[in-house]
Amino acid sequence: MKKTAKNLTLSAMFMALGMVLPFLTGQIQQIGNMLLPMHLPVFLCGLICGWQYGAVVGFVLPFLRSVTFGMPPLFPTATAMAFELATYGLVAGLLYNRSRWQCVVALYRSLIAAMLAGRIVWGAVEIVLLGLSGSSFTWQMFITGALLNAIPGIVVQLILIPAIMVALNRTGLVVFKNTEVQ
């Protein structure tokens, strides 16, 4: 019960961070698309609270932000982001939690796998959503949206998330494990 309450509280904090971090980009969509501020708290939630919490926070956050602030636009952006971010939280949390050792190497493996899976899911959802609206989603749109425009955000994620996790490990709030998962 105590762990559940802690995870719910932390998830609410990550949700709140996901709501306010995009304001750091000044609500300029192009900068937000490059720095991906909503992704950071979702990854951290999945890694710290577990895949279930990360997936829920990732799925709800884009819709909540869209309804509250009008950004990202509900269709197709927030809808596709909901599936993408849910995948990030789920995959990062699941792989990290199931790692034999929970350390920086496992953290990078989990992050990279989650980033790849999330971008594939985002592309698949975009194909479906844009197909339903009579538009098309090209390979060039996928490469641009999932990779080229996202490079600054990917770099930020690969630097900040491990740095935050190492800092939390040093304080004892999140402990790296060097034992086998039962």
Residue 45 placed within a domain: yes
**What's the pLDDT tens digit per position in 101-137?**
899 999 999 999 999 999 999 999 998 998 888 887 7
d(Cα 72, Cα 156) in Å, to the nearest integer? 20
Q: Is 92:114 a contact under the CB 8 Å cutoff?
A: yes
Residue 30 placed within a domain: no
d(Cα 80, Cα 150) in Å, to the nearest integer? 15
Residue 178 placed within a domain: no
* CATH number of the domain to which 134 belongs: 1.10.1760.20
- Is a pLDDT exceeding 60 seen at residue 182? no
- Is a pLDDT exceeding 50 seen at residue 89? yes
- Is a pLDDT exceeding 70 seen at residue 180? no
30 — pLDDT class (breaks 50, 70, 90) = low
- Is a pLDDT exceeding 60 seen at residue 179? no
- The pLDDT score that the predictor gives to residue 28 is 66
Dihedral of alpha carbons 27, 29, 30, 31, sign = positive
Residue 137 placed within a domain: yes
d(Cα 43, Cα 159) in Å, to the nearest integer? 13
| Mean confidence (pLDDT) of the chain | 90
Residue 28 is given by DSSP the state -
The tokens of 10 are what?
Answer: 């932390």
- The pLDDT score that the predictor gives to residue 175 is 87
In 3D, which of 160, 18, 27, 34 has the Cα closest to residue 85? Answer: 18
Other CB atoms within a 10 A radius of the CB of residue 131 amount to 11
**What's the pLDDT tens digit per position in 141-168?**
888 777 778 888 999 999 999 999 999 9
In 3D, which of 152, 154, 169 has the Cα closest to residue 96? Answer: 169
Q: How many domains does the structure of the chain reveal? A: 1
Residue 28 placed within a domain: no
d(Cα 154, Cα 61) in Å, to the nearest integer? 19
Strands (E), 46-174: none
Q: Which domain holds residue 74?
A: 38-171
Phi and psi angles of residue 101, each rounded to the nearest 5 degrees, phi first: -120, 135
